[in-house]
Structure 1
Amino acid sequence: MSELYPDCDPYGIADRLTEAERAPILRLRTVLESEIKPLVAEYWEKGEFPYQIAPSLHGLNLMTPEEIDGEPRSLYHGFRIFELARTDASMATFYTAQAGLFRTSCRVGASPEQFAELDPKITSFETTGVFCLTEPDHGSDIAGGLATTAERQGDEWVINGAKRWIGGAFTADYLAVFARDVADGQVKAFLVDREAPGVTLEKIYGKTALRMMQNADITLENVRVPEAQRLQNCNSFKDVAAMLRVMRSDVAWIATGIQAGAYEAALRYVRSREQFGKSLGSFQLVQEKLARMLGNVTASLSMVSDLAEKQDRGKYRDEDSALAKMWISLHMRETVALAREVVGGNGITLATDVARFHADAEAVYSYEGTHEINALVVGRSITGKSAFA
């Protein structure tokens, strides 16, 4: 077992982290356990986000921690996400909206000059932003179906369209909006001021997963954006795909963290619960389910950690991140269901934490590419044939 995760990392995969990399993760854990975890059940039930915790989370400087010299390794970034997700999926989604989605869209899509100006403000949270790709009528078919348009008029662009499921939009400074250039039909990216004339945000109600995360429907009506706020290196959907191959690996880490959180919550419960005069953890069927859950967590951790080390060697392939997101999300569903089973009737209450992980897993299963879309990305690589319609 690893020292960092003694209950859910039997092969010691986290031991690949250096002491310098473990230090900020342990600081994060302290904040999560003392300030954030006590709030999540209450705010999950209310369908609200505890924004009062944002300063503590931002102040940890997790993107560029002082202990690490230079840009942290992908493995550190992954375990940072894992630590967040094993506490709460909405917390991981909230943080990675900035540290993953927005920062990646700027890293890949901005010119070197733009990124040099933006990145220090992104890492310090001086400037915040969100990734706006999905639309009301286009999710899995967004590559060919993206309907939001951008028309250049002099030194400005006029954007019209709508975006959906945009998490974190209500507190973002900028919306990284992807729109199709009416002149050449190519997809381009724009940093749209959230308060610009013509931008309307509406909260999506009635969710049964990621209830704390505030998702928005966004309408853009004749929104004017200066050419200087166009991300200069995003000029086709191929550039968007380059962003997605990085983001999908982040979601695979979230799915792994959710499994760890659900498993640890179930383990706490069966260790403390008695039935028929015996510890619940002493029953054979319960132990079999716990073993399957731990196997899923271990296999998922192995996959994302190997993927992170591959990415650090400069090897980024669509099929690699798609395979991780597809396989881990599928097994996440099994893990959270088994956790729900071993906790019994109490597994549907927020008090045990299991119900929250069980519900939130459904959102993670679908976002950043459904199971089927990611399977087709992998299948295209395997066969050399595209099966996309």
Structure 2
Amino acid sequence: MEGACPNFSLMTTETFDTIIIGGGLSGLYCAHLLAAANRSFMVLEARERLGGRILSPEHQGFHTDLGPSWYWPAIQPRMVRLIQTLGLRGYPQFETGLGRFQSFTGDVRTVQGYATQPASWRLCGGMHALVESLGKTIPGNAIRLNHPVCEIEKHPSGAQVSVGDLEAEPRPRFHARHVILALPPRLAAATILFTPELSHHLTQAMLKIGTWMAGQAKFYAVYESPFWRQAGLSGQAFSERGPLGEIHDGSSPESNPCGLTGFVGIPAVQRSRKEQLTKAILQQLALLFGDPASRPAAFFYQDWATERFTATPYDQPPMHQHPHYRPPADKAAIWDGTVLFAGTETASEQGGYLEGALVTAEQAIERLQA
């Protein structure tokens, strides 16, 4: 795997059967399937790491989740199958005990806890374990980090993909018979030049598909003991006041290390002062769960709205409900099948979830092999 910043001036056009743009779950699963079929491919990832919106900072061997946190075994067979195939292990979300609710005025009361239906599960090692395990099934020389794609140009024999600054020369270029767009359609439409340009209808359809979690911010507070459980609380809390809107127990299955995690409930435009926001979050946690909550052993925070390889200016307003995802303009591919859509926002089944990322990856690879 190439993690260092490349010397673009030394690069020439490289040719592959398939180029996968994006090293999140969908892109990595595409690569995993192509590697198993012994196909020629290259993954181009803009970031210096793999995983996309899967991000699991580590504290003393415990991996937190600042991106996707759950999967649902009862309704997500692909996730279950992949976890088993990779030799990983999941565990049910802890939900035993009472919950806490904070009204708009700031008043806090204890409420009846509830169990999510269907049951939500977490992954041992965090969702990063999926990324790490999939990465081991992909040849190291088939992944290029720090390779943001700036242009895709249609050629008679496929497509040429350019990396780097659109205005800079020389740029590394890659040629392939097929290109898989394993990134959010809105991000692709906003950051990649398509030559010839896409139709106005398709471009607008891509821009209208909101990127899941792109406007969200999450926190993870790690503690030495689950003191809230000892007080009969589940770790669940909801607030109309903020700054946190939703909180859950984020502990390991052995409950040590343990943690509280959840979502910031204020819009992206109000989250610019990280230090003040962190202080307000810890004060709110103390109000909900007691003074020990204000003194975590480690605290992690991720604002996805500030990530240029996740969010665009269109993603700053918060989503108030889960979108109904589907392929943009009902197109699974463009340019006579040269460029194929993948990524969870293009899934008509389980869109926005990790399962949706696997669905679209399987569909893209099936079209390549048809």
Settle same-fold status: TM greater than 0.5: no
TM-score, normalisation: structure 2 = 0.29
Higher RCO structure, 1 or 2 (CA under 8 Å, sep 6+): 2
Larger % of strand: which? Answer: 2
TM-score (norm 1): 0.28
